[in-house]
Amino acid sequence: MIQRFVDNVIAVTKESVKTFTYESLNNVVRLINGISALLLTFLPGKANILEGIHGWELRPTFRGPRFPRWMENGVSSFNHFVHELSVDSDSDGSNLDYAYGDEDSDYDISPASPSSQCSRASRASSFSKHDRRWSWWMWIRYIFFWILFPARFLLGIPVRILQLSYSRSSKASAAPGSNEASQTISKVQILKDHIVHRTTDRRRGVIEDLHLAIEIFIEAIFDVVHKAAHFVLSPSVAFKTLSGWCSLSSGGVQYSHGNDSEVTVPTASLGENDPALKERNTSFQHSLNTDARTCQDVITELGYPYEAIHVITNDGYVLLLERLPRRDSRKAVYLQHGVFDSSMGWVSNGVVGSPAFAAYDQGYDVFLGNFRGLVSREHVNKNISSRQYWQYSINEHGTQDIPAMIEKIHQVKTAELKLSQPDLDEETNDGQPYKLCAICHSLGGAAVLMYVITQRIEEKPHRLSRLVLLSPAGFHGDSTFMFTIMEHVFLLLAPLLAPLVPGFYIPTRFFRMLLNKLARDFHNYPAVGGLVQTLMSYFVGGDSSNWVGVLGLPHYNMNDMPGVSFRVALHLAQMKRAGKFRMFDYGSASANMEVYGCPEPFDLGEYYGLIDVPVDLVAGRKDKVIRPSMVRKHYKLMKESDVDVSYNEFEYAHLDFTFSHREELLAYVMSRLLLVEPTPKQQSSQKAVKLKKRTPATS
């Protein structure tokens, strides 16, 4: 009897301590979320960033900045569960049915589908007045809750003990078919199913990790207290337990201490033809619950084929060229990302909204290029230093990376097509048996223009049939005040920073993991995420791209991330200062003479007449990173050089071209690709005619 009473006291005390710590942490987070919301109301032009989000005043929800579609299927698990319990404890006499029965409830915190988001937006105006009155009422309730919480906590302990004792004593006499028991079981089952669904999310945020750490710590402490109480109250049981431990230790039980970072566990998947247990490796990364999915994981999870091709440049850098293969297709597309990005950007919106999947569905053999510049420092020289690895500018992107990847594409496609279609040998003696188009964003657009021009100067084939350039870099004279300040400061401090900062990236695994988890918290707490989004948009000159959502992309993970070398940043600053799209300035006439054969770096805009393929330029009216006026400057110079060029604008910010789901842009890009005829004979004849036309102009 005494032992049962002690067990009840320990159990109730443990749950009370958990509740107190959970509520304290939740209230601190709600306070931070509320302060962030207040700050947003004072920032100019940002007061409406939380429109349509209900309950953000006090209750953080899970409809923050939009993540890619394949990242919206799961929502945080433990944090969501604790949030539901706190809502349930504050709703006097309410039960768990509110989260499941009433879809129009203000506390509906299930993941929003596109249709439900539209319905919420349509109801936003009708509920606005009610929300304002409700927010003041909630503030008053929370003030009284904190005042009366100590009394509730102390008075609740004996009540919980009596309830637990009564429930245990009446368990045997309870009717098995009682209505109350069936209702309780159904509620518990619903809650269990809900929690299981939530735990399918791939990662936790920092706040959720704190919740779990607190729970584990409390469980460990009270487990020790519980065992100590049992040893004191039941000496015979304690003696048997100790004797059992002694027998196990003397029996020669051996424990293997291998690599703690990787463990082999037996698993079985439901629905497989062979339900036998299989071995699966689990690593320390899984225990940290960070999302380190690669582009391969995203592509294969969506049911598309995948192939990885490792490309080595002339200067020894190892690049990853990823592919959605259509080996017998005679039309291919090469997609190249921009700064601080990777091939993940082309697949981040899932099947419907990603350019890579759209091109593959149109019958293209899709190649995804990746520039040099990873924290993992992939190079043939495994002992290369950080300073040596990051010694490159945009020159190397355009004259080393892209040539190596496109030449590899040519080798692979030619070999595969000749193997599957032997009659192509007679058809394409002088040409290539496929058409290759390029879709490039931002820095990738500048690099591919540099590639085409330098290949023509060196009289080498560039293999491309059409260029689609989305907000291409190159000209940066017309930029925001913030970028102008950054340019002046950067060029002023460049001689001091060059020896100290070889590249811009997060150097340690811990801080990369922290960024990965904070991105999840920004998603869970929309006011905090909105504030970070606003501050980041101010930093980049007011561009309204989803900067917080970009931080959640898995290529920013604890193991690796794309970085930017110091010289690439310096190269961009040089372009802005000069007002020209030119190659890297090595700082002296002698150094430039050694590389270029002239004291000044090449002005690529003067060589636009060498571009012998159609070019489609796309600008964003909301783009503050590369303004439409700068894209129009490309267009003007190309028109003056008699290049077959088109220009179009969309209501996009800078990252919307790859990261956001924009069906109209996909339709436009696909329509431009379809203008390229797949007939190799026609391609060869068109190229010959164009070369004849360009010869007098370039001589």
Task: Confirm if 72 and 114 have CB atoms less than 8 A apart.
Answer: no
The whole-angstrom separation of Cα 373 and Cα 563 is 5
Compute how many other C-beta atoms are within 10 angstroms of the C-beta atom of residue 23: 19
Measured distance CA(656)–CA(377) in Å, rounded: 29
DSSP string, 134-187: HHHHHHHHHHHHHHHHHHHHHHHHHHHHHHHHHHHHTTTTS-TT-HHHHHHHHH
Phi and psi at 53, nearest 5°, equal -105, 110
Question: Which pLDDT value is given to residue 49?
Answer: 53
CB 646 within 8 A of CB 616: yes
> Which H or E run includes 241?
helix 235-250
* Comparison of pLDDT for 286 and 629, the residue scoring more: 629
| 683 pLDDT above the threshold of 50 | no
Longest dimension (CA), the chain: 105
Highest mean pLDDT: which range of 7-16, 203-212, 351-360 = 351-360
Q: Which residue has the higher pLDDT, 45 or 408?
A: 408
Question: How many whole angstroms from its chain centre is CA 493?
Answer: 32
Vertex 686: Cα angle to 683 and 687 (nearest 5):
85
Tokens 């060869």 locate to 684
Q: Which CATH architecture has domain 304-422+432-505+562-675?
A: 3-Layer(aba) Sandwich (3.40)
Q: Which tens digits make up the pLDDT trace of 363-398? A: 999 999 999 998 888 999 999 999 999 999 999 999
Of these ranges, 249-253, 323-327, 622-626, the one predicted with the greatest mean pLDDT is: 323-327
Residue labelled with tokens 């040089």: 574
- The pTM assigned to this predicted structure is 0.70
**Overall average pLDDT of the 42-46 stretch:** 67
Percent of the chain with pLDDT over 90: 34
Burial 607-644 (b: 16+ CB within 10 A, else e): bbbbbbbbbbbbbbebbbbbbbebbbbbbebbeebebe
On average, the pLDDT of the chain sits at: 74
Higher pLDDT, 204 or 322: 322
- The residue ranges of every structural domain in the chain are 1-28, 304-422+432-505+562-675
The angle formed by the CA atoms of residues 547, 286 and 531, to the nearest 5 degrees, is 20
Return the closest-CA partner of residue 341 out of 662, 660, 659, 669.
659
Examine the pLDDT at 675 and tell me if it is beyond 50: yes
One-letter amino acid at 612 equals D
